Amino acid sequence: MRLRASDWARACAGVVAIVMAGVNDARSEGGPTSSDGYRSVQVYALGGGFIPLGITNTVTGVDATDAPPLSIANAAGGTKATTPPPLLGVRAHVPLFWHMSGEQGPLFGFFFEAGIQTSFGVQSAMLAFQDVSDSAAGYGTQTIRENFQVPLLLGASLPLDTNSSGAPGIFLDVYGGVTLDSWTQTLQGAEANAPAGLGFFGQNRRFTPDPTIGIGLRGPVGNLGDDLPLFFGVNAELQFRPGSVVTATSQNFPVTYYGTVNPYANLALMARVGVAFGRR
């Protein structure tokens, strides 16, 4: 079964509904320790997917057979994956500071979040090309594969509502930072005018610091005064990835192939479930 971007959006909307249902339960709970959970370190398991936005692939063949001048041929375009690459991982959410009001409870807070997540090397985009170079008639593919990421984020939390004891029911998180991003760009193919010859291959393993912004909703399910309060949440993040170039040399002709990916953004949509450890 293939999942489209709209399927991910509907799944996230379903999790929001679960969060809000849990908030209604949490709002009815009170007690002297019911507000401690949101100030504790929270550890989350998360799952979701990637959607590349505005990606353009280009393959250029520079042919020196009849040089000078050089013969240059291009192919551009490409498609993103029909099924968004999966995203699974864990994160730690560490509250740094909460500004409290005696009557209103918590007004706003700041947090640090870090973790590790993976897409298991799944392909996120591809360009199929042909007839790149007059003498070689090169054809093949350029692909992008997603490996793993380490997000390092700082943000602010705003309680959207509270229960009768002053404990927050649901939070709006707004944050930014950097995502250390491992991904692979591969250019490979063969040449129609050398059917018995060797093909060409080039690969660029990238590890880039991608600027990241995000927004999320999270809330407790049940009583915040429990020993291990349970939290649900949904998040959307934009990760701004730099461009990249990979080179492959023909084994049969004086031709060099260049694969280029323009700078673009990855939209990460994810749901999370976690617990809070310790009272602060």
Q: What is the DSSP string of 147-180?
A: EEEEEEEEEEEEEEEE-TTS-EEEEEEEEEEEEE
For 199, other C-beta atoms within 10 Å of its C-beta total: 16
Q: What is the DSSP letter of 262?
A: -
* pLDDT score, position 260: 96
For 267, other C-beta atoms within 10 Å of its C-beta total: 16
Using the structure block, give the residue that is written with the tokens 């590790």: 116
Which pTM does this prediction carry?
0.81
Tokens of 200: 């060409």
Are 33 and 39 in contact, with CB atoms under 8 Å apart?
no
Non-local CB neighbours of 165 within 8 Å, separated by 6+ positions? 29, 30, 31, 34, 35
Per domain, the residue ranges of the chain are: 5-277
* pLDDT score, position 195: 80
Give the strand pairing for 57-63 and 255-261.
antiparallel
The pLDDT tens digits along the chain (280 residues) read 444 545 544 554 554 454 444 434 433 343 333 455 577 899 999 999 989 998 999 999 999 988 788 888 888 877 777 788 999 999 999 999 888 776 666 788 999 999 999 999 999 999 999 999 889 999 999 999 999 999 999 999 998 876 555 566 789 999 999 999 999 999 999 999 998 888 999 999 999 999 999 999 998 886 665 566 789 999 999 999 999 999 999 999 999 999 999 999 999 999 999 998 865 5
Q: Where are the alpha helices (DSSP H) in the chain?
A: 5-27
Rg of the chain on CA atoms, in Å: 24
Sheet holding 244-249, edge to edge: 71-77, 57-63, 255-261, 244-249
